[in-house]
Structure 1
Amino acid sequence: MASLSLPRVLQLKKNSLDAEREQFEKFQTLAIQKAINAIETPVKEKHVRSTIIGTFQEQSAVTYWMVAIRQPLQDNRIVAWKFCHVTHKLLREGHPACLDDSQRHTGMIENLGKLWVHLREGYGRLVHLYCALLVSKLKFHQRNPRFPGNMQLTADELDAIAENDVNNYFQLCVELFDYMDDILNLQAAVFESLGNARANSMTASGQCRLAALIPCAQDSSHIYDCNVRLLFRLHAALPADTLVGHRERFRQQFKKLSSFYKHASSLQYYRNLLTLPVLPSNPPNFLLQSDFGTYVTPVVSIPEPPPDEVDSVASLIDTSDTVSQVSHFEQAESFDTRTTPSPQPDPIVERDRLIDHLQNELKRMRSEVSQLVQERNTMLGSMREHCTRLESQLQATKSELEEEKQKAEVLSAETPEIKQKLLQTEDKAKVIDEKFQKLKGAYTQLREEHITLIRQKAEVDKLASSLRAAAAQHESSKMMLQQQLNDRMKDVELLQQSASSSEEIEAYKNEISNLRSDLENSRQKEVELESLKASMETLEIEHKTAMTEQKEKVILVTNELKEVNENLERVQKEKEEKEAELNKAKEELNAVKVESGADVKRILEEKEAALQEVAELKQQYQQEKEDLLQHNTVLEADVASLKAQLEEAQSEIKRQRCRMLSCAGEAALAVTCGALDAHEHGSARDTYRLAAELAANALNELATHKEINGNEETLAKSAVYAAHNTAQLSAYIMEVCNVSTDMELSDKLSNECRSMLSATKTCLEGVAAGRVEAGLCAEALGGVRRAADSAATADAAPAPGSVDDELATMDTAIEQAAAQIEEMLAASRAGDSGVKLEVNEKILDACTTLMGAVKVLVQDARRLQRELGDTSTRQKMYRRNPQWSEGLISAAKAVVFAAKLLVSSADETVNGKGRVEGVSAAAHSVAGSTAQLVAASRARAPPAAPSLARLTAASRQVATAAGAVLAAARHAADLARDTEALDTSALTLTATRILEMESKVRALELETALDKERARLAELRKRHYHLAQLEENGNMTNGKE
């Protein structure tokens, strides 16, 4: 499409905002050019500060990058080095948007590093490493946008970024390790380029390289702090073996970082610029979570710069020939390995400045020494106080141990009394055992007498079953008595087991001896504490001579004191446990004493009660024996009469069973013959009609008989006929309900069938109970007739449209649509020419291809339906799955409608009455309707069916052809727009403005029309969905509600 090249109309006057913006860009450009110059000196802090302030004023880094990329970064190594330094400062301290604005320049920085890596000496390798560091920083912030540019985070913010997830902790730790590696590689290369001479830090060339390590040191301290916190959290959640690689990598970085800080602290250049922390001699032990409590965050502090004599903004307006000087140095520097000689300062001024600096350094060191001495005194005072507290705690522990010793002695004094009480309990148990043996002998004698009486009773009257039942009851009562005696024996055994308390007393003695050994251990701890005091005194003497040795010994003393505290706490816990065990033992002994006395009294009382019960049972047995003998004669006479009646009733029952069996056999034979005849000579509809007629006759026969006696055979046959034919009718009705598509008719049939079965059940229950109720039989008869009439109505209802017919109609419609498109193509080729012929031919060719693909898809869909079975099987499946069949028919209708829509849209487009967008919309409709047809066909098809694979392939062909139609439509629209391209070569200013205004008005009108059309489309879709829902529910007639 031809682009419109319209002239840009510039304003004749600039407003105040443009002037301020131009002034701002001027100041920023000058500051950036002064910061990134070709002189081998450190970057001026005021120029970098002005650049950073500009990012906050602008709230972005667009101006910085616009100026920076225009500098000779690929020609001058000093300019490239200072560019990396300033960019690093900007990313750390600039506006937060600087990180996002710099992401698009990551590729440029990476290419700059690859360029300078070929210069293997001097600044070439340094620029390459610094570019790699900047790329790593930008990528890290891209992956972790919640990290600020200066990498300074609190512990809560770090946990929030990692979302307290172990996986996030693990990944973040690896990324920080990579970041730290780039920093350490850069600082190692810088120090290696300087050599071992520390005097290089006071030269301009050395300071130019060392100044760039200040932001690196700031980043490294925060990265180190984050790594330590992350590793402690990882070791708290994961096994130590999993994190071996993390610990080894941290240990290597720890050594390099510690060396970096020590080396940088020894340089004179860094003394007034920053204060570096001193890392501990050993890295943190992540396997001990307690070490995290002693961890101290390293802080790199930068003192506040003195106020400039000249205003920073005013200093940007330099009246000297700075630009010419910069251009002079740019011409002198080239892409070779030659170095620029540094300016030579005045030796006298340099000497005076060095003397002043050394004096200031001496004062600072004296103040640090005095501060260290004061800290040592404070630490010694706190240690003395801690030792005093430990001594007081030790005294308290000794007093508590003495009290425990006294309690143990009291308990040992009470032990003989407990033994004596146990002996008394054993004596009482022996007496109770003797009494129990006597009671057992009496029980044995009573049992023998009972057996003798039973034998006498058996000899007197063997047929007296009631007497045997009474004897069994007496036997059960005696067994209960024996169970009670066994319970008493168990209680006595429990008293015997109480004698084992002497063993517990021995255990208590062992615990007392353990307490004594713990007391000896505490005395040993006291001796160790005395040795700690002596070591404290020696530490005070040695601290005056060597500060470092004193610190290490203080650490050792604190560790030992911690161990002493832990030991004391452990001794206190053990003491409390021993006290609890002693109290528990005392309570158990008291409980044994109380229970033993109460059990003896209870056993004596129960023994007396048992003797009384035995005497009463003996008297009761004698009385019952006499009563049973008298009642035996009466029972013999009753048994004889009952036997005669029983024989009479059994003979009558046998006769009734024979009659009922013959009636049931006749009824079953008649039912079987009727079913066989219906199977051979009738259909299912005739069968259900015959069943309804037979059920009505049987119920009518039941209603005519009011009495059962004398009509047993007739009633039995009628009941069997009624039950069988009613069940057969209900089965047919349920089958009609299952295949019916009318839900209301199905519910009505189900309710009438349920009422028919309930009425028949109630009627037959009355027959089974021995009564015939004419009202119930009439109600059942009416239910049978209503159910039969409803089934006949449902069976006569017209069947829904066939799926096969609809698919055939769809196939015919698709063929007609394809033929119409071919006719339109032939007519277009005969009557059109030029661009119109090209457009029409491409659109109609694409539509012809699409209709051919749809035709193949429809044929595959019909073939897939034929594979489901023969016509009757498919019709049965359609009736059993009405929703699926309705969906398949709806999909076929949608395909036909979409094909007709495509034909009409193509016809209108070719004749110039329509638009190309109509063809695109019709192609979308064809693709959607065919997708609906494929989904409906696939729902009931077997997965391994060969036609299913062909149908899927045809669906893909339809999608491809629809895409071709859309592409042809877009191409036609492009050609139309190309022909309507605006020629602005002859337009004047006034004409251009008029056309511009008209174009704006037209655009607003089109936007308003687009909004209206979208609202109209939404309403049409709502109406379409509503009508489709009504059609599915069967609430539409001829397409209307």
Structure 2
Amino acid sequence: MATHAEKDFFHLNVSVHKALKGIEGPLKSKHARSIIIIIHRSKEAQTFWSLITRQPIMENRFTAWKFCHLLHKVLREAHRCVLQQSQKHQKMILEIGKSWGHLHDDIGYCIKAYSKLLVTKLNFHDKNRFYPGNLIIPFSEILKASDRDLNYCFQLCVEIFDYLEDIIALQVAIFSSINTYRISSMTQPGQCRLAPMITLIQDSNALYDVSVRMMFKLHEKLPNDVLYGHRERFAGIFAKLKLFYNNVRPLQYFNDLITVPQLPDQSPNFKSQVEFGSYVPPVVVVPLEPDPVVDDLIDTNFPNAEDNTDHVQQDQILNERINALENIVEDKSDMIIQLTAKLDEWKHNYESLEQSYKQDVLDLQRSNTSLCNELASVKEMCSNMRMEKDELELQLTNNHIISQKVVEEEEKQKLSSEKFNKLKVMYTQIRDEHINLLRQHSDHSKSLNKEKQLNSELLLQIKELNNELLKNNETMECEKANNLKLLQQIEELKAENARLETIQRDAQALRATLDATDLKLKQKEIELEELEAKLYEQCDIIYTTTTDIEKGEDVLNKVRSIWPDLLKLIEVVENDDKNRQFESLAKEIQKNLNGLNEVVQGILNNFEKSVDLDKLIEIELKEMDAAIEEAASKIINLLSKSRENDNQIKLEVNEKILEACTALMECIKILILKSRVLQQEIVSSQKGNATANEFYKRNSQWSDGLISASKSVAKAANYLVDAANNAVNSESGQNFELIVAAQEIAACTVQLVIASKVKANRNSENLVNLTNASRDVTKATGVVVATVKDGNARQEQQQDNDLRNLTPSQLKTMEMEIQVKVLELEQSLQSQRLKLSAFRREHYQKTEY
């Protein structure tokens, strides 16, 4: 009878195989759900990954796309162990994205973006271990985990923004593929691409809510200038996320699968803490999916009671039922925890909203009372002014001076009336604002009442779940009572196992001591091998860099003579033989080391005295220029000689070949000139206050590269001249040596260009000129090769035409001569191959120390 673990493995294998079928269609939720249930039961993800590696992810693009979607759902909804055990598979996920991203295909770009998002999610959970896979966590727990550290909150905001940008990049790739090929959301290809949008909306909604709360918290503690970059980045993400939700909302495919959250029209104003009181978190509602029917995941059938002695079989059946009930209880407890977290969050929001509304009402009442007081004082002033006006009118009839005062008082009264009118206008504006705020208060109170209704519904659900838990507990107690007899037998077996464990511990202790001694011996061997390798590396550097070969061989021989004495000395130390043999070996080694030091010091002194790199480079470049000039003149002389001696067809072939060679030499001259100008620019811009010689010594590897490149160009130019001479003077018509020479000189010029580019500024005009000159050399080389091949073809055609005029006897003799030449060439080819193998064998023996 199969065990429970074997059944789980079988069903997991079947579900993974069905979920990752290479058909262009959406991932079926029942297969994903069964995989998540099995991972929850086994509490490990190694089996899941072992099955994933056997699937044809690199052969089928839709299998790779469904793998990304399945892994995203498993990371969100499966056991927490998946987040830790999937960290080591990040490289595989990135390789899948890179391999499919190279294809210029819509689904290939989507796979590349999805793999990047999955790696970002794994890194985010690795840095923030307290975050669950579904990203739903109360804000108070985040603050508790960070110990209210502002630096941590600042960095967490940056990581959330990176996460959101990867989500936005993936949905942009999905919508661009759908819009490019005009795929409908109700077809199988459209649903295949749009299915991951549900998990993307769930992740982005939770991250958006946390980022808003974190930004308000940071603006409460830090100045606004410090958080300018965060605000700008959040504003860009907010606009893209709102566009993403608006694009998803009208699609018919998502009507019954998810309710897309509604974002506000504008980004939150983090500078005002009052706005946080009116912040309403967006809500995503995903209808619950029915549990998939998985055959034989839980065996609920009891065997017949005929065989009462088969306790082992009964134990297996009872354990299966207990595990099933425990899994159900864990799922229900997780749902209760999530619902209580939502209740706490909504209560916190309600309390903050209520406090902000109360504070706004108090502020408006205070401003209203102050304005009423001001209005009463202004009315009193108006009444007083009227009384004074009446008195002044009475006095005006008696005195002209008083009339002037009346005019002045009237002007003052006009000014006061204007002030009164302004205050009245301000009062009406503040009154209107007060009325608007009261209306908003009523709207918010209605929304709070709706939230209270939702809370009551959630409480009813929690009560129902508690009743189910009580029923499950009762069934478990009954089964535990039946299992007491079996537990007694298990305890006896445990006692025997404890005895066996004590014996195993003793054996492990002995193994540990043996392993420790083995490690010490291995460490000593490794240290000796490292010393040997370092010593031979230093000797190899001295042997290859010195110009005096005898002194280099002397250094190598002395090192080889020291090594056997060192081995003997180590054996003496290990055997604790402190006698005359130890002293004699130490003196001998000291003597050899002193001699080796003197030889190396002498080589160093000679090297420092002899090397003057700036002059050496200048000499090598001049010799290269002279070699190029001489080669060009020789090619021109060959052209003139060919015009005097050759017949019509051969003259045409030789003229074209030599003209192509002269054009190649002209391009090489220009390249050398540009490289010298760039070299002078490099030395003048980077040497600083040092001399050119000191600059070349500081960059000795670059200097050696220039010297070797210039030597290679000079040798290749001479080889090209010799090949051209042989091509002109030969009668065979096969000019392959000239092709090899042209390609060799092009390779040498490329080496010179690379040696010049290493330390050049990328924006330098001289570097651009050198690159163009290198391209001209490559083109000229191609012209030479094409010309030679064309000439060979023409000469072979001429020889074929000459063969038609021969007699049968002449053809037979020519055939015999050709067979003799073939045998001679095969024999020479075999001998040259033997020489090449012997040369390589001797070279490898000399280079191995």
TM-score (norm 2): 0.39
TM-score (norm 1): 0.32
